[in-house]
Amino acid sequence: MKTNSVTPPSSLHRGLGLKEATALNMIDMVGIGPFIVLPLVVKAIGGSLSPLAWVAGAFIALVDGCVWAELGAAMPEAGGTYVFLRESYGSQKWGRFMSFLFIWQTMFQAPLVIASGAIGFAQYLTYLIPLDPIVQKSVSGALVCFLVVLLYRRITTIGKVSMFLWAGVISTLIWLIGGGLSHFDSALAFHSSPAASTGSVILSLAFGQATVQTVYTFLGYYNVCHLGGEIRDPERVIPRSIFLSITGITILYLALQLSFLGVLPSQEIAGSRFVVSQFVERIHGTSAASVATLLVLWIAFASLYSALLGYSRIPYAAAMDGNFFSPFGRVHPTRQFPHISLLAMGGAAFVFSLLFKLSDVINAILATRIVVQFMGQAAGLLALHRRWPARRFPFRMLLYPLPVFAAILVWAGVLLSTGTTFVLGGLAVIATGSIVFLVRSSSLKEWPFDRHGEHAP
């Protein structure tokens, strides 16, 4: 049930256009992730095959982007997946269950994503400044606090800041790619790697692991959907921003991978902790490498800025729906943004940044999210098409429903590629969330314990 103390959804200001929405998607996608993942991909399948892993990651993002584009254009509200799951499975029954599971995993997963990025930021900073573990923790915690301060303002101001950060991200990538192309050694780049001659089964497993890594670097193309209540002309802007960001980032990632392969030997890339710094040092010297490291930190900061912004709108949407604690639904009286939700997400990320280490984060994040968020909402879109008339879908994907089935299948493959430990961990999160939902519903006498039919559709 909804409470009267919660500000109505119309209090959010639709202040983001196509440029700002695309910029927020792209800076969310390009964080420190690709610079950490690039050596892992080369290590898994070798340099000559590594571009294929990025193509596979782009394909997964593209087919899944079709799902997000249809849902986002049809339901342009704050919360994104929360709203999609609620409406797809029925807002009073299974939709409440699925959307609650999403909120449950988000309250753990989202602060961990922000914390992991902040920890990675502090670790990459050690290339420039030697920091002991305690000081690294202080840096990561301070970074989270600074992010909250920057986001504690109107969405129109945030849109302007996002464009400024986006310009730095794109300029850095173009500089890196340009340097690589100007010193490109084709014999080095296309040298056949040992991985290419291994058995087909082993190579397939390695390619699956490499694709898991690249998929992680594409995540964020849907960030605009979580901000649906703050997008101008969302029926047009949301789908366009999704496909523009995927296309642009794919081109940049492939060019970046080839640039690095044409300058550094594959073995050196695979074993590098600071691959960007080594790459620039090889081309321009140590001073330029220090500048490149600062720019990588800029990119990492920009990604965290966009991610925390999107995540902060999810508990807000659930609170507005009466499916989460009502204070999360409060909107700042003058700046018109969900300030309690932002402070809560930032506070949790701050604590996690002080407590956790950066290890196995990529697989854990994906395994936790895939079943409920990605596979769940793709299946939900199929259900919506059976219930809703065509006019309720302002955007229609090409070749429907083939991209939806493709998205479900490829996400299932990615889930299996994360490994047994992480699959079981993801299922454990779902199981505990299911228990909490049932206990909560029983205490509130809501579905499936509502015997009087008060919440029946």
Tell me the C-alpha distance between 93 and 152, whole Å: 35
- CA dist 300 and 144 (Å) reads 12
Q: Convert the pLDDT of each residue in 1-29 to its tens digit.
A: 333 333 344 468 899 999 999 999 999 99
In the prediction, which pLDDT does 296 show? Answer: 92
Q: What is the pLDDT of residue 201?
A: 52
pLDDT of amino acid 375: 96
Pick from 108, 89, 104, 102: which is nearest to 447 by CA? 89
pLDDT of 204:
73
The three-class DSSP label of residue 16 is strand
- Residue 7: what pLDDT? 37
Instruction: Give the tens place of pLDDT for each residue, 260-319.
Output: 999 999 999 998 888 999 999 999 999 999 999 999 999 999 999 999 999 999 999 888
Quote the pLDDT of residue 379. 97
Q: How far apart are the first and last CA of the chain?
A: 13
Give the mean pLDDT per block of 10 residues along the chain (457 residues).
39 89 93 86 88 94 97 94 94 92 88 87 91 94 96 91 93 94 89 56 74 89 94 96 97 94 93 91 94 94 93 90 86 91 94 75 74 95 96 96 95 86 88 92 90 51
* pLDDT of res. 3: 38
What tokens were used for 453? 């039919």
Residue 49's pLDDT is what?
87
Closest among 347, 377, 352 to 79, alpha carbons compared: 377
pLDDT in the model for residue 346 = 96
The domains of the chain, with CATH numbers, are 14-444 (1.20.1740.10)
**How far is residue 431's CA from residue 411's CA, in Å, rounded to a whole number?**
20
Residue 130 and residue 125: Cα distance in Å, rounded? 8
Residues 6+ away with beta carbon under 8 Å from 411? 60, 64, 370, 374, 375, 378
Nearest CA-CA partner of 71 in 59, 61, 80: 80
